[in-house]
């Protein structure tokens, strides 16, 4: 039987790429604006009254926040599903494709930056023989909308497989999404290490019984709304098997947690 390939998976937001806190706030407000605008244009269901923009905005916010809550339990609700649920709640026929096109345009305005040291770290791990995956919860936008920026940053030459939660029934911290990501890499939990910035990364790695987890703290400056919605759902500190403030420290830790000679 072929032995599992040694692999390292990385979270995306606040691990490999990031935006400034103010940009993050603008983007999250923009998500609400886009949904509200398209809901207002969506035809009403006969016998149901029209709703005010405030009501439409509240309905989408409710579904978005519900999706975040469900995500913490390891289940994925895609952006399209969120929009359609909000439309039904308001007695509207959802213009889902219009919403997704509008959301794609919004994502394209984001001024992404590559995390310091990200590309050299990916190159170093690949040279060592590790397979590289990106494993991201995509509650606010489809993962495919992020791909143009990642391609532009040269990640396609460094990453063997992308796994986005909106394309699957699961989200981190479910071990199932880790299993799906590792299957794409030809790996297995005991032959893998995960690197990320948050609770779902560390808890997911623990539940999936990975060889190790690395908590990256170098980009933990979040916008207020992101912090409110996406940070740990309890007061316990987030911990991994190792903690680093710089990605440059990751290859040495991976070699310790998952030595190539033992594969």
3-state secondary structure 203-234: HHHHHHCCCEEEEECCCCCCCHHHHHHHCCCC
Domain with CATH 3.40.50.1000 in the chain: 7-20+112-262
Residue 148 CA to residue 201 CA, distance in Å, equals 24
DSSP state of 245: S
The tens-digit pLDDT sequence of the chain (263 residues) is 678 999 999 999 999 999 999 999 999 999 999 999 999 999 888 666 567 899 999 999 999 999 999 999 999 999 999 999 999 999 999 999 999 999 999 999 999 999 999 999 999 999 999 999 999 999 999 999 999 999 999 999 999 999 999 999 999 999 999 999 999 999 999 999 999 999 999 999 999 999 999 999 999 888 888 888 887 656 566 788 899 999 999 999 999 999 986 44
Distance of CA 120 to the CA centre of its chain: 22
d(CA 114, CA 251): 18
The dotted CATH code for 7-20+112-262 is: 3.40.50.1000
CA distances from residue 247 to 10, 26, 164 in whole angstroms, order as listed: 11, 27, 22
């Amino acid at each position: 039987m072929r032995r599992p390939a040694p692999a390292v998976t990385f979270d995306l937001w606040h691990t490999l790429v990031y935006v400034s806190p103010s940009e993050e706030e603008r983007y999250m407000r923009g998500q609400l604006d886009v949904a509200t605008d398209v809901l207002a244009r969506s035809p009403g269901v006969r016998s149901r009254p029209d709703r005010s923009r405030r009501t439409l905005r509240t309905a989408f916010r409710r579904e978005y926040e519900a999706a975040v809550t469900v995500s913490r339990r390891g289940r994925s609700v895609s952006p399209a599903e969120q929009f359609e649920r909000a439309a039904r709640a308001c007695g509207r026929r959802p213009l889902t494709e219009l919403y997704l096109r509008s959301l794609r345009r919004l994502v394209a305005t984001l001024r992404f930056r590559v995390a310091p040291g990200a590309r050299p770290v990916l190159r170093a791990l690949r040279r060592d023989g590790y397979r590289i995956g990106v494993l991201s919860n995509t509650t606010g936008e489809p993962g495919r909308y992020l791909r143009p920026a990642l391609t532009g940053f040269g990640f396609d030459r460094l990453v063997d497989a992308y796994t986005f939660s909106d394309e699957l029934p699961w989200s981190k911290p479910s071990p199932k999404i880790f299993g799906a990501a590792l299957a794409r890499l030809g790996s297995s939990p005991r032959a893998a290490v995960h690197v990320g910035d948050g609770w779902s990364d560390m808890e997911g790695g623990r539940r999936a019984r990975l060889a190790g987890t690395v908590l990256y703290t170098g980009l933990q400056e979040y916008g207020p709304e992101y912090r409110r919605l996406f940070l740990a759902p309890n007061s316990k500190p987030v911990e991994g098997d190792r903690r680093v403030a710089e990605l440059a420290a990751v290859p040495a830790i991976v070699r310790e947690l998952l030595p190539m000679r033992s594969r």
